[in-house]
Amino acid sequence: MKQVLVDSSVWIDYFSGGSHADKLSELIENNTICINDIILTELLPFLYHKKEDKLAGLLLSVEKSPLKIDWPRIVDFQGVNLRHGINKVGIPDLIIVQNLLDNDLELFSLDKHFLLMRKFFKFNMFHA
């Protein structure tokens, strides 16, 4: 099984005991998850603010997928999105797509725009 990059939307669902928590727990037990610095940057400030240091430490212990940002490629990704009517995709999500492709990862996300982008960028989504 490929490593699964777990997006912040899934982590937030997991922390709140949401409907995908069991599936993420299973992936954690199977040691098939990873995270990257963008996702950590989205999550850690809130956890530190709420004094959830233990939880932050657990996130920091998850295997990290390395990021090497290719800005011309990110510009191209956004151009493809716009040509296909996929609007308002943030730069962090484009970097996540590049990270998926560069490291042959699957994505576990609850954000619908990734479902639209996968048609054009040929990455796999993990199905919960």
Instruction: For residue 1, name the pLDDT band (cuts at 50, 70, 90).
Output: confident
The distance of Cα 110 from the centroid of its chain, to the nearest Å, equals 9
* Alpha carbon separation from 98 to 51, 61, 121, 123 (Å, rounded): 32, 23, 9, 10
Q: Is the pTM of this model over 0.75?
A: yes
pLDDT tens, position by position, 94-114: 999 999 999 999 999 999 999
Residues 128 and 27 sit within 8 Å (Cβ to Cβ) = no
Could you tell me which CATH class the domain 4-125 is placed in?
alpha beta
What one-character DSSP code corresponds to residue 35?
B
Average pLDDT, the chain: 96
Query: How far apart, in whole angstroms, are the C-alpha atoms of residue 58 and residue 123?
Result: 27
Q: Which residues contact 110 (CB under 8 A, 6 or more apart)?
A: 7, 9, 10, 13, 20
5-9, 21-25, 124-128: range with lowest mean pLDDT: 124-128
Contacts for 128 with CB less than 8 Å, ≥ 6 apart: 20, 23, 108
